[in-house]
Structure 1
Amino acid sequence: MLINNKLIQHKGLDWVLRCANKEDAAQLTNLRLKIDGETENLDRESGEGFLSKEDFQKIINEDSIAERNIFLVAEVEGKIVGFARIQGNTLSRFKHKAEFGICILKDYWGYGIGSVLLENILMWADYYTEKSLKFS
């Protein structure tokens, strides 16, 4: 699932909300390692569940064609500073469930990036839910 790029201006910071692409994979690998070491609010410590550039490329490719997944990034001046991903369940009895996460570099906390990422994931989920109900 893809969304159009959006320029966000909030609290003196201009940034772009967009879908991840395969060229982001190396940045995402390094970003995830750094973010995991900046906070204890995530489920893993730095280095745990490591995702390589190739792992991210595979995830991004799968998410770009999957109907129940979306992978968003927050970009400031060409640098990814955060991301959010939601993965829907493919099992018939669990189609109503999804897992998601949001990660933002500590230097960019307080700019509303997490709120915008969450808002867009929820809008996407609402859209997908309405679409599914129409065709079920």
Structure 2
Amino acid sequence: MIVSKKAFHVKGLDYMVRSAMDEDAKELSDLRVQIDGETENLDREKGEAFIDASGFEQIIQTDRENKTSLFLVAAVDDRIVGFSRCEGNLLTRFSHKVEFGICILKEFWGYGIGKNLLKESIAWADSNEIKKITLNVLETNENAVHLYEKLGFEIEGVLKNDKILSDGKYYNTIMMGRFNG
């Protein structure tokens, strides 16, 4: 689905949140690899589960055509610095919910980009009869957990020893959901 673009000014930084477009595909492919290499908060190591430009074009097109999916990007001076997706499910029993995922370049953390991508996603979901948004977050990503709770998400479960990070230790994944019904 497509949403209207929205401008933000946070801590001296101007950025735009808008729907992903076909011409963003190559930049998104490169960006995802870079972000995966900057943090262990995400599921992938740098270069794993690589999606090339044509793969992103397909995702963008599918999300644009699916009323229960939304693909947003955050751009600073026309440079994409982060993105989020709400991925819907076409099965009737799950048609009321979407799964949210997000990633932002480390140099742009702290400017409210994640919060604003999520708030725009919540507004879209609430206005499109999406009753539930789910997400998974690494237990050590306390800032994200607090943000999600602040925006109405609740902890629904914990996957114990779910991920192994570069320190060789196992970490839990927190499953969270926000129900608007």
Question: Does TM, scored on the shorter chain, surpass 0.5?
Answer: yes
Say if 2:18 is the partner of 1:8: no
Give the match for residue 106 of structure 2.
Answer: 106
Which is richer in helix? 1
Q: In the TM superposition, what whole-angstrom CA distance separates every residue of 1:39-94 from its partner, at most 9, and x where no partner exists? A: 00001111111100000001111111111001000000110000001111110111
8 A Cα contact 2:86 2:98, kept in partner: yes
Cα deviation digits, residues 78-124 of structure 1 (max 9, x gap)? 10000001111110111123212010000000000000001011111
Q: Deviation digits for residues 17-56 of structure 1, max 9, x if unmatched?
A: 1000000000000000000000000011111111000000
**Offset at residue 130 of structure 1 (A):** 6.8
The normalised TM-score by structure 2 is: 0.70
Match of 1:134 in 2: none
Higher deviation after alignment, 47-56 or 87-96: 87-96
The residue identity in structure 2 corresponding to 1:64 is R
Local SS of the residue matching 2:4 = coil
- The equivalent of 1:18 in structure 2 is 18
Counterpart secondary structure, 1:129? coil
Quote the residue 2:69 is aligned against. 69
- SS of the aligned residue for 1:75 comes to strand
1:38 aligns with 2:38: yes
* Equivalenced residues, count: 131
CA distance in 2, matches of 1:98, 1:6: 22
Structure 1 unmatched ranges of 5 or more: 132-136
Equivalent in the alignment of 1:84: 84
Q: Provide the rounded CA distance (Å) in 2 between the counterparts of 1:81 and 1:110.
A: 13
Q: Match for residue 58 of structure 2?
A: 58
Separation in structure 2 between the aligned mates of residue 50 and residue 107 of structure 1, nearest angstrom? 22
Matched, 1:126 2:129: no
- Say if 2:68 and 2:87, in contact at 8 Å, map to a contact too: yes
For residue 160 of structure 2, what is the aligned residue in structure 1? none
State the identity %. 53
TM-score, normalised with respect to structure 1: 0.93
Aligned to 2:49: 49
For residues 105 and 55 of structure 1, the distance between their equivalents in structure 2, rounded to whole angstroms, comes to 21
Q: What amino acid is the match of 1:113?
A: I
